Structure 1
């Protein structure tokens, strides 16, 4: 059964490049990004893991832990990490799950038989501190992920969790946001959005990002 947005992310215990991991316990009160790779020593995955390592401070600033998955062994992962660090000028400090028995891949529906009967597709899940799935992106094996987009969506999720707004297409930090249509009380709107707003239509009200000075 496939996961859907709002579902509780399945817990599991699995070996990794840093030893056994019990997922929910490891995640704690952080946000999480869990992303899968078809196999070790593959070119696109090598660039992705190097990029994730280089973005470590960006993830940390957002209270996000990253964890990768491949169907190869923990020992293979450790050798692969050496290659990643050398070829990508990176320092991989996050775990890579060793999912040889496909346990996690099955829990998270990462095997798509029409794409490959054995290899995981390039799936990515953003999970919030309550262990709820907030974002699912699935790429084909040939296409590397856009981690700028992953960070952008995390920014949007964290912003909209705390303010009654939504983020428009191509939104990025500092851009105007949309006041949610369900908020109709003008006195409440003025209190929540003291910078004011522009009503392009009654349902489309733009306001400066509320957590920016």
Structure 2
């Protein structure tokens, strides 16, 4: 079995375990993204995860685990790094406008190459600090890039009325809830079971109070 076949099997098993139904071309495109990330990572150190199989688990499946909670026509992924979960969500559920935001120039250069190479319609990358981004979005994703208090203080203005903020965390983040700024409230919290990942994962759904 070639490496790509092995990675495909791992990814397909994980998608099945998550109970997701993805577009027919999603698996090969996710693997193309993983391969591009692996190639760039050798030169630019975009992620500490270097093993391809671990990338499938820690990056692709971890990002896909929040897909059932994603909603709306527009999404901003704040502190996206190399496109996690934003690019994964763009491939898995195409059709929405997605803004990938990161302050790191190397990572944004990679994002723009990934958008071009993978032909991701409706996806754009912006090099910016979160607090300087403009616009409003139906859904905002943030993968453990800051505390809830900081996330919402910096980026709360980006959440459209009726929108949902998906904060991806390891622990349940009980200690962070008292710091949620006025005007926002925790709607739901779900433990995530990421196939192949022996670690706690949670998603917190926050909205305007």
TM-score, structure 1 normalization: 0.29
Higher normalized helix content (fraction of residues): 2
Give the number of the structure whose alpha-carbon radius of gyration is greater: 1
